[in-house]
Chain A
Amino acid sequence: MMRLAFRNLFQNKIRLAISVGGVALALLLILSLDAIFSGVEQRLTVYINQSGADVFVSQSGVRNMHMASSSMPASVEKKVKAVPGVESVTPILYLSNMVVVGDERNLAYIIGLPEKAVMGKPWKVSVGRDQPEEGEAIIDRNIADKSGVALGDEVEILGQDFEVVGLSEEMTSLVNSVAFISLNDFEALRGSPQVISFLLVKVSAGESPNTVAMRIEARVRDVTAQTRESFAGQERQVIKDMSTDVITIMNLIGFLIGLAVMALTVYTATLSRRAEYGVLKALGAHNGHLYRAVLAQALLSVAIGYALGLAFTMLLSDLIPRMGLSLILKVSGASMLKVSGVSLIIAAVSAVLPIKQISGLDPAMVFRGK
């Protein structure tokens, strides 16, 4: 019966291409949307993960960076430094703003870095320096390429012109990029001295970041201290919670489209082989055998469609960054597993109509030419 399924499937190449292509596109819809959001999650946490900090200290109740605001008195730095187990502390200022080049405006996290910052600097600088002095900025290479900016050129941040002295890598997401200026410039432009946004804390050798974070919260008032992993986890959660509903709706639509394509192709394939199924029945084949052939056909098409959809998503995830787009696609294991499940359901449901058709087939009809 497996051979019959194979033959039925591969006999009409155009129908096969359409059915497999249709399923591949429907699954691509689900896979690519998942991949887009996973890509955003990954990129949004790059700064946190590569900052070098073991613990992030923020204003009480502020648990992430994206779309958040944190303000603490600068004096908190001294208090945190005094907590046992803290090796070093780097204060940063942070807000969302624009990197402006001519008419091109790019949303960015603007980070104000102190002189000789130990942590929080751009982690991968392809050209230039990783520490901005006054009047200088480090921006993402993607943004620079897109806007035609090179080292030594000027960009506008917070309404002020800055000379680009470094280009960082891998910090652009679909939403924004990250740009660095000096802490002094940041303070002057914001007009709010003696305030910091976050403290990046390195713990002493042998100390657990978790214990030190708890110690900081116990000894310093009005702050929230989290380990790097926990802070990054909260950041990912923001994207997850924002995207859940959209992903659910899109997944449902992708599922329905995949189902329609598969149902149609398996149905027409069975219909055109109606006479052969009748002959098989007349020769004594049980309905169960024929059902298995139809199901195998559906499973095979869906499996090929899944492989193609996955391959195409992988190809897109490789091609899109090369095209200079800030859209990053990351295919996760969870997403692949989910789409496998969806594919199985599509195959099973799409086989129902043809199975009904076969079960009602009267072998004698075949010989009457109907």
Chain B
Amino acid sequence: MTLSRRNLFQDKTRLALSVGGVALAVMLILVLNGFLDGMNRQITLYLDRSPGSIVIAQKGVNNLLGATSLLPSGIEYKVASIRGVEEVVPILSQFVILDLHDKKQPAYLVGYEPAEGGGPWEISSGLQPKRDREVVFDRVLAVRHGLRIGDTFELMGKDYTIVGLSNGTTSWMTSFFFVRKKAAEDLFSAPQATSFLLVTLSKDVEPREVLNRLNDLPGVNALTKKEMAINDLKLFAKVFSAPLKLMVAIAFLVGTMIVGMVIYTATVERQREYGVLKAIGAANRVLYQVVAVQALLAALTGALIGVLMAYGVSQGIMVARPQFLIVFDPSDVGRALLAGIGMALVAALFPARVVAGLAPAEVFRR
């Protein structure tokens, strides 16, 4: 242990670079995972905060964000008459592209009836829309584009006035904004149209039974909010998981290479000393331990610093770009530390080979 520590601490700059390299790699892994976790939370924002426990979509549609849904006309009344249904909230929603200051900003428009619900769950300032050309805008998106209450912006050829700003409706990919349902119907040239029904069940009913009854209605797909949230997550995971995994793999490889190189150079430079140790009877196992402990010390210190850096960097990113949510789960931190140990073990392989191949007699011939 003392030998490992001495070998490692002898050259402070090299140690700092190796620890820094692992820290960067671990930070990258953590930030990427945190970004994915944050994105997952943002994806299910609306489903998490809107009323009801069941969502009714058009037949064949099982996502909120992935697909456009248009329910058969008059379905709202049929659903309301089903035994076990307490409340039905209709919304008309659709992705739209906003042109804000020459930047294209995808946003999810929700048309709702303020009296019935389904709109913003927390208004930080202003009011709910009372007229068709009024809108509650996401606060973070508004700040990013310098928009305030009373400002107008153009959407699909029509001008809308911001009358309220909402909290907790931000997402990296798409923020939510809210208009009256009638306004959405006009905008999409779809009078009386409804995309989804948010259904609240009466107490003391068996949700599965009501769900089955709802699914007997023609042209609809009824599912729990939890199921729909999982479907949305699956859809986005499909899109983002491949590039993200590629980047995490690169970060792991780079970290391993850095620790490997540092321990390798430290071992090669101390080759003579290792030879002497072998010559005086030290078993290969002892020397492997020396190498492995060095790798572990460097990697674990790097991993711990990486965790702290990831926290600092993610805070910085979220302040500079509030649309990003980076979430650290304790399990992510555990995984990052495990990645550090993994890097150390893989990295110790090369130097261990050097030590194993060392002939003690060589030392005395030099």
Contact = CB atoms under 8 A, between A and B. Distances in A.
A241 B105 contact: yes
Contacts of A159: 58-61, 219, 221
A196 to B, nearest CB: 10
Interface stretch (A113-121, A254-262, A283-291): A254-262
Given A19-B261, A353-B13, A107 B20 contact: no
B82 to A, nearest CB: 20
Contact of A272 (B235, B269, B321): B269
B201 to A, nearest CB: 24
A156 interface: yes
B327 interface: no
B266 to A, nearest CB: 9
Contact of B324 (A72, A190, A245, A325): A245
A198 interface: no
Contacts of A267: 13-14, 17
Interface in B137-161: 154-158
Main secondary structure of the interface of B (DSSP, over half): mixed
Contacts of A95: 67-68
Nearest to B255: A257
Interface in B304-359: 317, 321, 323-324, 350
Interface string A17-57: 01101100110110011001000000000000000000000
Contacts of A21: 257
A62 B59 CA distance: 27
Interface stretch (A63-71, A83-91, A126-134, A177-185): A63-71
Nearest to B252: A25
Interface stretch (A97-105, A294-302, A335-343, A362-370): A97-105
A264 B173 contact: no
A268 B251 CA distance: 21
Contacts, number: 184
Interface stretch (B43-51, B222-230, B239-247): B239-247
Contacts of B154: 61
Interface stretch (B89-97, B127-135, B206-214, B284-292): B89-97
B254 interface: yes
A238 interface: yes
B60 A100 contact: yes
Interface in B55-85: 58-63, 66-68, 70, 72-73
B68 A98 contact: no
B250 interface: yes
Nearest to A157: B60
Nearest to B219: A159
B261 A234 contact: no
Interface string A149-188: 0000000111110000000000000110000000000000
Contacts of B99: 61, 63
Contacts of A192: 70, 189-190, 193
B247 A250 contact: yes
Contact of B261 (A71, A96, A222, A268): A268
A213 interface: no
A242 B173 contact: yes
A321 interface: no
A97 B20 contact: no
Interface residues of B, number: 71
Given A71-B189, A174-B239, A271-B11, A64 B62 contact: no
A211 to B, nearest CB: 22
Contacts of B42: none
Nearest to A19: B261
Nearest to B238: A107
Contacts of B219: 159
Interface residues of A, number: 71
Contacts of A36: 243
Nearest to A316: B246
Contact of A22 (B28, B67, B68, B257): B257
Contacts of B58: 158-159
A224 interface: yes
B24 interface: yes
B125 interface: no
Nearest to A237: B104
B6 interface: no
B21 A261 contact: yes
A257 B28 contact: yes
Contacts of A249: 317
With most chain B CB atoms within 10 A of its CB, the pick from A21, A67, A174, A325 is A67
Contact of B158 (A29, A61, A327): A61
Given A60-B157, A96-B67, A69 B94 contact: yes
A317 interface: no
A71 B190 contact: yes
B18 interface: yes
Which of A59, A69, A95, A238 has the most chain B CB atoms inside 10 A of its CB?
A69
Contacts of B251: 29, 257
A268 B14 contact: yes
B88 interface: no
A257 B257 contact: no
Contacts of A29: 247, 250-251
16 contacts: A21-B257, A32-B246, A59-B157, A62-B156, A67-B174, A68-B97, A69-B94, A97-B67, A159-B219, A175-B239, A192-B193, A234-B104, A237-B104, A241-B104, A257-B251, A257-B254
Given A60-B158, A69-B96, 20 more contacts: A15-B264, A18-B261, A18-B264, A32-B243, A61-B154, A66-B97, A67-B106, A69-B68, A70-B156, A71-B190, A95-B68, A97-B61, A107-B66, A158-B60, A174-B243, A192-B190, A245-B172, A256-B24, A264-B18, A272-B269
Interface of A: 14-15, 18-19, 21-22, 25-26, 28-29, 32-33, 36, 59-64, 66-73, 95-98, 100, 105, 107, 156-160, 174-175, 190-192, 195, 222, 224, 234, 237-238, 241-242, 245-246, 249-250, 253, 256-257, 260-261, 263-265, 267-268, 271-272, 325, 327, 353
Task: In the A-B complex, list the 5 residue pairs whose CB atoms are closest, starting with the nearest.
Answer: A159-B60, A60-B157, A159-B59, A61-B157, A71-B189
